[in-house]
Amino acid sequence: GVTRHYNFNIRMKNVTRLCQSKSIVTVNGKFPGPRIIAREGDRLVIKVVNHVSNNISIHWHGIRQLRSGWADGPAYITQCPIQTGQSYVYNFTIIGQTGTLWYHAHVSWIRATLYGPIVILPRRNTSYPFVKPYKEVPIIFGEWWNNDTEAVINQAIQTGAGPNNSDAYTINGFPGSLYNNCSSPKETFRLKVKPGKTYLLRIINAALNDELFFKITNHTFTIVDADASYVKPFETDTIYITPGQTSNVLLKTKKLKSNSRFMMAARPYSTAAAGTFDNTTVAGVLEYVMSDKNTKTFSNTSIKGLPLPPLPAINATSYVANWTNKFRSLGSSQFPVNVPQTVQKHFFFVVGLGNDPCPKNQTCQGPNGTKFAASINNISFTLPTTALLQAQYFGKSNGVFSNSFPSTPLNPFNYTGTPPNNTMVSHGTKVVLLPYNTTVELVIQGTNILGAENHPLHLHGFNFYVVGQGTGNFNSTTDPANFNLVDPVERNTVGVPSGGWVAVRFRADNPGVWFMHCHIEIHLSWGLRMAWAVMDGKLPNQKLLPPPSDLPKC
């Protein structure tokens, strides 16, 4: 591979959306951020300079970061954030991954506007295990707030209530112009295509808080990859994607003879009570253009009559369950499946919402006057004031974190039945310590308590294999017999259904401290997060590399 250098200057930029101009945190003044392009095997050297008043850190979501945990990015986990006026060089190699990943800020809610695509092409002189696309296009879903998102999260934390909804969903930074009174056709995403060609759409869900459905009228997709791992291709007309997930899909355009347009649309999926979510639709236009010269912009009225693609209902649970079941690793001789066949350590994590008492002299607007919280095995993870990885590496974990994260819930209950009387969480900075190369099986159980919400769980530093899933309570006697140990999908983010479970396996072959959390930003903020501390192996190439000299200080 080669080394590719990028300069990321983090700057404020005025951007107008929904009739309002707003100053947002950007990379190089771009929203969404610039595209990173590399080939598998390349080294990326990205210098991030912080010119804004917020603390900054950037996570390269899904990149394995083999032995390079210092470049992973989550604030207070692998690094202290980059302070105003400071810089940090993220330096890592892409090993064994091809597809689409993305980067985003990983401190507070800065990722609302600081995100962009990472395009990983196959090694030189190798090709995709599918038809060569005519063109490749990133499709990034996001959310747009008219208000300052730092104010939104600060207010939510203070009042203990759920945060305000975003004002629009976006496609590549654009809210659809038809579904609010206040935007121009310029604010609508258009995908210009030619007839009879195959396009590779690199789909990313960068939305903060919502799982999404996506569809284009009268078109179908072929899914070829998930989270930068190839899957057995399958056809669908509707895509479902959780925050944090990515997917490469092929779109074959029709053999049309004249210019024409089709609407595309995305809208949330949620099992929670309707109304608590922003259930608006974002629309874009798929535009067939016969000649490159025909680039006239269209007006709102010219697309107003076009039918929107019919999307599943907001609570289409069975659609989502079936969808998740369709994913299988490609499992070819070139791309083998390495799912651990035996397991050394078993974990059972219960993920869900809960609450905290309201502090004296404060009025809280959460459930029954309490504050919302979220936890894993009832522990709401407290971020330390220094970075866990540094504490671990320099042998200074005392007083920063403990290795006592419980491998099973301390107070089991019926997770999918009537909620227990007491849904208060406890707090702590606790990790699981894993010897190098441990094979891990983790069952993640969703609950029915409080919000009854889904949790897209994301693991840093690894891909895991999704070996099983189901509804209701996980049954450790009967369910493992049905695990798929042949061709399970390999991912970095998996949707844990409320009132259901998911089982994953991975090999702890990457020394470092690795964050695992719900990729719904409000759940992350409420504490649905923990970390795995993976020890060095014996051989020199099984050890975490030494920290870079410019590693930020807290």
232: part of which helix (H) or strand (E)?
strand 229-236
Determine the interface stretch with ligand C2O among 210-218, 315-323, 380-388, 511-519 (rule: CB under 6 A): 511-519
Among all chains, which residue has been given the structure tokens 């595209």? 35
Tell me which residue of 352, 381, 355 sits closest to 366, measured CA to CA. Answer: 355
Output phi, psi for 303, to 5 deg. Answer: -110, -5
One residue of 17, 61, 430, 455 binding ligand C2O per CB under 6 A: 61
Number of neighbours of residue 143 by Cβ within 10 angstroms? 25
Nearer to ligand C2O among residue 115 and residue 214 (C-beta):
115
CB-nearest residue to ligand C2O? 61
Q: How far is CA 271 from CA 38, 211, 214, 217, in A?
A: 38, 10, 17, 25
**Nearest approach, Cβ of residue 72 and ligand C2O (Å):** 8
CA atoms within 13 A on the CB side of 320: 26
Helix residue ranges per DSSP H, 76-174: 149-159
**Nearest approach, Cβ of residue 377 and ligand C2O (Å):** 19
Residue 32, preceding peptide bond in cis (omega within 30° of 0): yes
Give the per-residue contact string, 85-104, with ligand C2O (x = CB under 6 A; - = no): -------------------x
Nearer to ligand C2O among residue 107 and residue 353 (C-beta):
107
- In the region spanning residues 136 to 165, those forming contacts with ligand C2O, defined by CB under 6 A, are none
Amino acid at 352: G
- In the region spanning residues 108 to 137, those forming contacts with ligand C2O, defined by CB under 6 A, are none
**Nearest approach, Cβ of residue 479 and ligand C2O (Å):** 28
Nearer to ligand C2O among residue 495 and residue 499 (C-beta):
495
CA angle 482, 486, 490 (to 5 degrees): 100
CA end-to-end span of the chain: 34
Nearer to ligand C2O among residue 221 and residue 515 (C-beta):
515
Can you tell me the distance from the alpha carbon of 444 to that of 446, in angstroms, rounded to the nearest whole number?
7
Answer yes or no whether residue 523 interacts with ligand C2O by CB under 6 A.
no
One residue of 17, 59, 215, 430 binding ligand C2O per CB under 6 A: 59
Q: How far is CA 527 from CA 74, 297, 375, 384, 404, in A?
A: 14, 46, 6, 12, 17
Count, residues near ligand C2O per rule CB under 6 A: 11
DSSP state of 361: T
Answer yes or no whether residue 106 interacts with ligand C2O by CB under 6 A.
yes
**Nearest approach, Cβ of residue 371 and ligand C2O (Å):** 23
Give the per-residue contact string, 407-446, with ligand C2O (x = CB under 6 A; - = no): ----------------------------------------
One residue of 160, 244, 451, 488 binding ligand C2O per CB under 6 A: 244
Determine the interface stretch with ligand C2O among 327-335, 365-373, 513-521, 546-554 (rule: CB under 6 A): 513-521
- In the region spanning residues 330 to 359, those forming contacts with ligand C2O, defined by CB under 6 A, are none
Under 8 Å between Cβ of 352 and 375: yes
Answer yes or no whether residue 517 interacts with ligand C2O by CB under 6 A.
yes
Burial class (CB in 10 A: 0-12, 13-18, 19+), 58: buried
Among all chains, which residue has been given the structure tokens 């791992």? 229
Can you tell me the distance from the alpha carbon of 389 to that of 400, in angstroms, rounded to the nearest whole number?
11
- In the region spanning residues 296 to 335, those forming contacts with ligand C2O, defined by CB under 6 A, are none
**Nearest approach, Cβ of residue 524 and ligand C2O (Å):** 8
Nearer to ligand C2O among residue 163 and residue 284 (C-beta):
163
Can you tell me the distance from the alpha carbon of 165 to that of 159, in angstroms, rounded to the nearest whole number?
15
Can you tell me the distance from the alpha carbon of 485 to that of 212, in angstroms, rounded to the nearest whole number?
29
**Nearest approach, Cβ of residue 375 and ligand C2O (Å):** 17
One residue of 41, 69, 74, 461 binding ligand C2O per CB under 6 A: 74
Answer yes or no whether residue 458 interacts with ligand C2O by CB under 6 A.
yes
Answer yes or no whether residue 515 interacts with ligand C2O by CB under 6 A.
yes
Amino acid at 391: A
Report the sign of the C-alpha dihedral through residues 247, 253, 259, 261, in that order. negative
Residues near ligand C2O, by CB under 6 A = 59, 61, 74, 104, 106, 244, 458, 460, 515, 517, 519
